[in-house]
Amino acid sequence: MSFWQPRSVLQLLLIGFLVAVAPLCIAILSTIDALGELAEKHRSTTRLVVEVSQLEQQVQRDILQLERRARQYLALADRDLAILFDLERDRLLEDLEALEQILPSTSPDVAALLDTLEDLRLPGASESGHNPAADPIVDEGEGIERVFALIVERGQAIQLWKQASVESLIEQDTEQAEDLTEFLVAQISLLAAITFALLLLFAYWITRPLKELTQEIQQLGTEGLSHSIEISGPLELKALGTRLEWLRQQLHDSEQQKQQFLRHISHELKTPLASLREGTDLLSEHVAGALSQQQQEIVDIVRLNGIELQRLIENLIDFNQTPYQELSVENINLEELCTDLLRHYRFSIDTKRLTLDTNGTVSTWRADRHKLRTTLDNLLSNAVNYTPEDGAIALVWYEKDANLIVDVANSGEAIPLEDEDRVFEPFFQSAAKRTGPIKGSGIGLSVARECMEAQRGTLELVPNPHFPVCFRLICPVH
């Protein structure tokens, strides 16, 4: 099952933006709706509190008016005042019932006051045949004082009940607001987490092809040009991957042509060179007859240049093949290896009257013989060619921290400071004067360093208290 792939980076960015913003929009709309409900609830509570306060104040005024009407009736004994008393009592009863219905809680004082008011009658307002002695209020002033004192007391209790009920409503409103706030915080936190997760998802979706592209480019540098490149994702990155694959193919074809050229050129060069060296060796060994001293010197020069030419050709081949060669590890007799290498430079050393100092404290070492020999050969050739006549060369090897250390130092002109960091670059030649019979190619030190790095070693230019030039190779044991 294949997932949907966006057609372009712009499309992916727009979709990612919309999807990531969607939870935030939901949070905003939900917050607005919740705040609207909270505001409406607050307005309802405010209206209820105002209405309750108005009714409670009206009840208190009705009680005072009822008491005043009763006292007027007892003072004047007017039947119309008794009728007004009954009307005001009925209105007080309606206000109390309305107050009791509005508030969510009930009060025993309201019920008791209602019962008291229901039984409260004035003699002048009674029907015919009614016994005034049965009314709660009689003509005596003491009875009026007692009954209305009770009514006022219960009215004050009702006022306290109203205040408690209002505080309860306000507290409930506050609790609902706090609960809503906690809900909104939790909702926004959840939606923010979802938004962050979506952002990470789309960021991964956008950066994944870029990481693939980076990995492919890195593989080109580390694993070579043999694997094909295929990038998935938006069209722009796919097109970039296609162009990179085209470039890889071109580089691969160029590499193949280069390798083919090197194989052909090495064959074409080595075949006559082998005949040349064989002929000079035969002449040097007097197989064709005795040679005069002058003839012998000429043969030695030709033989030496043949060896140097062979080394240059091998350097050129090794320079292109060293990164791809596998190690062939074996035990190496270091003294025999150095003696064999120096034998090829004996004629140049004798001709230039060079002083050679060799000193080694390690007899054998386990490493790649060809790479170690190539490194030492290039270092010795460099030392012989750059050391002036009557100069000195030192070859020292020893073991330190489980590593083989070899110093190849020579007298003569020091390498300029501006060239020290570039002497290992391919085809770079220092400004120092070279005295060898053949101009160098500028890849000897580069090949030497690559041979050491292939064995997880190093080759560096280091200071030496006795020589102006000193190269140090460090080869770990294998």
pLDDT for 355 beyond 80:
yes
The CATH fold assigned to 325-478 is Heat Shock Protein 90 (3.30.565)
Question: Which of 172, 190, 171 lies closest to 30, judged by CA?
Answer: 190
Mean pLDDT of all residues in 31-47:
81
pLDDT tens string 256-267: 777 777 666 666
Percent of the residues in the chain that have a pLDDT greater than 70, as a whole number = 77
Residue 469 near residue 415, CB atoms below 8 Å: yes
Regarding predicted confidence, which is higher, 60 or 128? 60
Question: Which of 21, 41, 187, 164 lies closest to 105, judged by CA?
Answer: 164
Q: Which distant-in-sequence residues (6+ apart) come within 8 Å of 151 by Cβ?
A: 63, 66, 67, 113, 116, 117
- DSSP 3-state of 410: strand
pLDDT for 112 beyond 80:
no
pLDDT tens string 420-429: 878 888 766 6
For residue 460, the model assigns a pLDDT of 92
pLDDT tens string 193-202: 888 887 787 7
Mean pLDDT of all residues in 275-298:
76
Regarding predicted confidence, which is higher, 115 or 454? 454
Q: What is the CATH number of domain 224-323?
A: 1.10.287.130
Q: For residues 277 and 385, give the distance between their C-alpha atoms in angstroms, rounded to a whole number.
A: 21
Regarding predicted confidence, which is higher, 437 or 34? 34
pLDDT for 331 beyond 70:
yes
Q: For residues 451 and 471, give the distance between their C-alpha atoms in angstroms, rounded to a whole number.
A: 14
Q: For residues 132 and 242, give the distance between their C-alpha atoms in angstroms, rounded to a whole number.
A: 114
Mean pLDDT of all residues in 32-40:
82
Does the predicted TM-score (pTM) go above 0.85?
no
List the beta strands (DSSP E) in 321-468. Answer: 329-333, 355-360, 364-368, 392-400, 403-410, 458-461
**What pLDDT band is residue 189 in, cutting at 50, 70 and 90?**
confident
- The domain locations on the chain are 9-202, 224-323, 325-478
Q: For residues 413 and 422, give the distance between their C-alpha atoms in angstroms, rounded to a whole number.
A: 17
Regarding predicted confidence, which is higher, 137 or 237? 237
Q: Work out the mean pLDDT of the chain and round it to a whole number.
A: 77
DSSP letters, 39-78, are HHHHHHHHHHHHHHHHHHHHHHHHHHHHHHHHHHHHHH--
Mean pLDDT of all residues in 384-399:
92
Instruction: Confirm whether 9-202 and 325-478 share one CATH topology.
Output: no
For residue 472, the model assigns a pLDDT of 94
What tokens appear for 297 in the block? 């010197």
Going by CATH, does the domain composed of 9-202 fall within 1.10.10? Answer: no
